């Protein structure tokens, strides 16, 4: 076996649903403004028990069940997160412990909102290399810990959640080549500065313009995979803002693809947004096992990464 594929998918959405009207009680905004500028109608905000490790483990258990695997078959756990509650320790080992992946290695990967795509690519290449057979990739985020609830330009966007998949060895190769890159010269455009200001800060318009400029990059992901945009069954861009999601899908000419619009219900969950978006299309029956689906993450860094995968 020299290929790699996604064996299963699982997600965790926090119980608490927060509406735009609730946010409008805290800051000077409105449901109409938020919907028209971002597409967001509601978002999920975690409670104290719904930690990055707890949400990640819950999603991971569902992914294992969907893959028909037990935790002892996992060789490695990669936690894609940029909202770990502390710098030390990482979340990956805690998730591995919680799910009972007793013999697995575990580490964190911070690729910002592109973290899931980076982790899938890393896992797939490790599997193809033969060193591991099954890797649990878990994207888990609690952006609410880093949200300035007095900043109306960011608190309307940010949310919590988790999504996981198992990348496993396969006779067929179902994870296409990753296309990635960065503009680290503009790392301050999205940041948690630290020190006295440990909250999420963003130059929204700059991020918006940068994201829209990535249309040729998204097209390149299709080219590298040998799949024409009109052959895609689904497209799951990072769920940052519905206008960005739609501009990327329309921009590449993905005319037949179901477009993930999970941001409307779930807000921006950073690295978790791609597995959550993929799950929303699968659950709605808009894509099926084996369908070609384009994943594309972009955000803090600035960095991006994407690939075409066959749906798990
Ligand atoms: N409600 C009402 N007004 C708001 C507001 C809110 N929630 N947030 C900002 N505004 C105001 C601003 O204060 C500004 O007012 P002014 O003209 O009087 O100064 C006006 O709206 C325009 O602000 P601007 O920042 O230009 O708005 P925008 O149309 O760019 O929308 C974002 C702001 C954040 C929604 C938008 O830039 C965006 O979505 N950017 C991308 C963010 C993203 O995807 N980040 C994640 C990347 S991983």
Q: Is 238 a catalytic site residue?
A: yes
Asked whether the predicted pLDDT for residue 102 surpasses 70, the reply is: yes
Cα of 148 vs centre of ligand 1, distance in Å, is: 14
**Nearest CA, atom 21, ligand 1:** 153
* Total domain count, the chain: 2
| Average predicted confidence (pLDDT) for the chain | 97
Instruction: Please give the residue range of the domain that contains residue 37.
Output: 3-170
266 lines ligand 1 (CB under 6 A): no
Percentage of the chain with pLDDT > 90? 99
Q: What is the pTM of this model?
A: 0.97
**Nearest CA, atom 14, ligand 1:** 153
Q: Which of 143, 170, 197 is the last residue of a domain?
A: 170
Confidence of residue 2 (pLDDT cuts 50, 70, 90): confident
- Give the phi and the psi of residue 238 in degrees, each rounded to 5: -50, 135
Query: What pLDDT was estimated at residue 1?
Result: 59
- CATH code of 121's domain: 3.40.47.10
Confidence of residue 156 (pLDDT cuts 50, 70, 90): very high
Same domain assignment for residues 45 and 68: yes
37 lines ligand 1 (CB under 6 A): yes
Q: Which of 170, 200, 228 is the last residue of a domain?
A: 170
Cα of 186 vs centre of ligand 1, distance in Å, is: 19
CA-to-CA distance for 253 and 187, rounded, in angstroms?
30
Same domain assignment for residues 153 and 43: yes
């Amino acid at each position: 076996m020299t290929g790699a594929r996604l064996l299963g998918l699982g997600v965790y959405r926090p119980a608490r649903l927060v509406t735009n009207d609730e946010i409008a009680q805290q800051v000077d905004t409105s449901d109409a403004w938020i919907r028209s500028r971002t597409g967001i109608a509601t978002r999920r905000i975690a409670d104290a028990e719904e930690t990055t490790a707890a949400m990640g483990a819950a999603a991971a258990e569902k992914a294992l069940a969907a893959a028909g695997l037990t935790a002892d078959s996992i060789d490695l756990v990669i936690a894609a997160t940029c909202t770990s509650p502390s710098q030390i320790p990482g979340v990956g080992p805690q998730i591995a412990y919680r799910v009972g992946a007793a013999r697995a290695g575990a580490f964190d990967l911070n690729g910002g909102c592109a973290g899931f795509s980076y982790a899938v690519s890393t896992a797939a290449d490790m599997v193809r290399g033969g060193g591991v057979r099954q890797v649990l990739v878990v994207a888990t985020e609690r952006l609410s810990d880093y949200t300035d609830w007095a900043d109306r330009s960011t608190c309307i966007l940010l949310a919590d959640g988790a999504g996981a998949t198992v990348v496993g060895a396969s006779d067929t190769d179902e994870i296409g080549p990753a296309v990635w890159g960065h503009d680290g010269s503009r790392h301050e455009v999205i940041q948690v500065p630290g020190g006295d200001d440990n909250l999420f800060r963003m130059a929204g318009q700059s991020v918006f313009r940068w994201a829209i400029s990535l249309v040729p990059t998204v097209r390149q992901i299709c080219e590298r995979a040998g799949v024409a945009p009109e052959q895609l069954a689904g497209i799951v861009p990072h769920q940052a803002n519905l206008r960005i999601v739609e501009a990327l899908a329309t921009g590449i000419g993905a005319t037949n693809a179901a477009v993930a619009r999970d941001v409307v219900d779930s807000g921006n969950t950073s690295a978790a947004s791609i597995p959550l978006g993929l799950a929303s299309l699968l659950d709605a029956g808009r894509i099926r096992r084996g369908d070609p689906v384009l994943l594309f993450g972009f955000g803090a860094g600035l960095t991006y990464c994407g690939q075409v995968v066959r749906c798990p």
